[in-house]
Amino acid sequence: MITQDETVYLPGDLQIVEGRVGETVTLAAYGEIDMANAPELEAALLRAEESDAAQIILDLSAVTFIDSCGLRVLLVAERRSATDGKRLGIRLGDGRVARMMKFTAID
- The band of 101, judged by pLDDT with boundaries at 50, 70 and 90, is confident
Averaged pLDDT, 59-84 = 92
Residue-averaged pLDDT of the chain:
85
Residues in contact with 81: Cβ distance below 8 Å, sequence separation at least 6, in sequence order: 49, 56, 87, 88
Average pLDDT over residues 80-95: 89
Q: Where are the beta strands (DSSP E) in the chain?
A: 14-21, 24-33, 55-66, 88-91
Q: How confident is the model at residue 106 (pLDDT cuts 50, 70, 90)?
A: low
pLDDT at 100 over 70: yes
Question: Stretch 30-41: mean pLDDT, rounded?
Answer: 94
| Position 84 pLDDT exceeds 50 | yes
User: In whole angstroms, what separates CA 13 from the centre of its chain?
Assistant: 13
Which residues is 32 bridged to in the sheet? 65
pTM: 0.84
Crossing angle of the two packed helices 38-50 and 68-82, in degrees rounded to 10: 10
Task: Select from 69, 74, 62 the least CA-distant residue to 30.
Answer: 62
